[in-house]
Amino acid sequence: MNPSLPTLNEPAARLKTTISQVRHFNDLPPEVQDAIVAAAAPRHFATGQVIYLEGEPAEFVYILERGWVKATRMSRDGREQAMLFLRPVEIFGDIAVFTSTTYPGTTTALEAVDTWVVPSTTLMKLVKKHPELALAVIRKLGERVLHYIELVEDLSLRSVEARLANTLLQFAEETDGRLVVPRRAWTTFDEMAVRLGTVRDVLSRTLKTLEAEGLLKVEKQGIVLCDTKRLAERGNM
Amino acid sequence: MNPITDESLHKKVLASLATDDRTATADLRVGVSNGFVHLAGTALSLDIRTAAADLAENIPGVRGVINRIDAPGAPRPARIINLNPEV
């Protein structure tokens, strides 16, 4: 057999590796991982493509293997609020499946995204059959609850400036001895505003204020954090 | 009289899109949350995209339409929000 050609087992092996990188799912017994692998199918989404819609029947749970995904919810006055930014490896779409409701938000591929989809009916059967999987799901959902508690606290108690400072510190990466929040193709002002629960103009003004005070510098390749101590203070950390 | 629920609106929007000649063959997806209709999928033209949103908007009880349907010439991100202030 030509070794360069993919074998039938390659996708399954790839998915098993992917599952082993999901927090709480990595220590599932092999037979449970095999059952998930047997039920899953690959699905690709192009940049900007909707993965599922807010209010759409929850037919699948998704395992994110490659690319960033944004989950948003529309407020009654038409403002879009980011709920989650997901990066590999992560599971999403699970809340709606386990609560037998429609998806609570819309997820969009921010770049080319590869996922594995597991039908919700199959997953429910697996959860009932394997207590280890149920426990992993409970842990995962517990983490999600903690995330939303933080989001509520952020949106209700912190200013846009504090939310921005926190977000920048959270996503900064060390590059050539500098702390930089790298600019990805999709990190436009509009996307950042959605993420912070504000509008583009307010975000722009806030960035300019922090830049004028020497806390950060907006460059083409990203935002350089110049004074993390003062940024942390502004973030009420 | 039956109350207007997201579920009933979802069925009505799907039926409306399926029975209109302009949208019947388009690959469209629908979600309804709090009376707001979310549309996605692919349409062959901007006219079909607009027609889908119009059909959804004209269903009694719909509070607004968030149109994310991808079509040639559609804005990117393909998201237009029309709120119906009368509902």
Q: Do A102 and B31 touch (CB under 8 A)?
A: yes
Q: Is the pLDDT of residue A6 over 90?
A: no
C-alpha distance from residue B30 to each of A106, B9, B15, B56 (Å): 11, 10, 11, 10
How far apart are the C-alpha atoms of A57 and B28, rounded to whole Å?
Answer: 14
Does residue A150 or residue A62 have the better pLDDT?
A: A62
Strands A113-119, A216-219: pairing is unpaired
pLDDT band at A185 (very low <50, low <70, confident <90, very high): low
Q: In this predicted complex, what is the ipTM?
A: 0.85
Q: Is the pLDDT of residue A3 over 50?
A: no
Fold of domain A9-157: Jelly Rolls (2.60.120)
Report the gap between the CA of B21 and the closest CA in chain A (Å): 23
Question: Is A231:A169 a contact under the CB 8 Å cutoff?
Answer: yes
pLDDT band at A107 (very low <50, low <70, confident <90, very high): very high
From-to residues of CATH 2.60.120.10 in chain A: 9-157
B-chain CB neighbours of A69 within 8 Å are: none
What percent of chain A has a predicted confidence (pLDDT) above 90?
51
- What does the pLDDT read at residue A162? 92
Q: Is the pLDDT of residue A5 over 90?
A: no
Alpha-helical segments (H) within A27-129: 30-39, 94-99, 120-129
- Low-confidence stretches of chain B (pLDDT < 70) are 1-2, 76-87
How far apart are the C-alpha atoms of A163 and A86, rounded to whole Å?
Answer: 18
Q: Which of B16, B20, B71, B67 is nearest to B39 (CA)?
A: B67
The rounded mean pLDDT for chain A is 88
Report the gap between the CA of A127 and the closest CA in chain B (Å): 26
Question: Is A97:A123 a contact under the CB 8 Å cutoff?
Answer: yes
Strands A178-182, A222-225: pairing is antiparallel
A-chain CB neighbours of B6 within 8 Å are: 55, 102
Report the gap between the CA of B51 and the closest CA in chain A (Å): 19
Neighbour-count burial of A88, counting CB atoms closer than 10 A to its CB (0-12 exposed, 13-18 middle, 19+ buried): middle
Taken in order of first residue, the domains within chain B and their CATH numbers are: 6-83 (3.30.1340.30)
How far apart are the C-alpha atoms of B58 and B72, rounded to whole Å?
Answer: 24
From-to residues of CATH 1.10.10.10 in chain A: 160-234
Query: At the top level of CATH, which class does the domain A160-234 belong to?
Result: mainly alpha
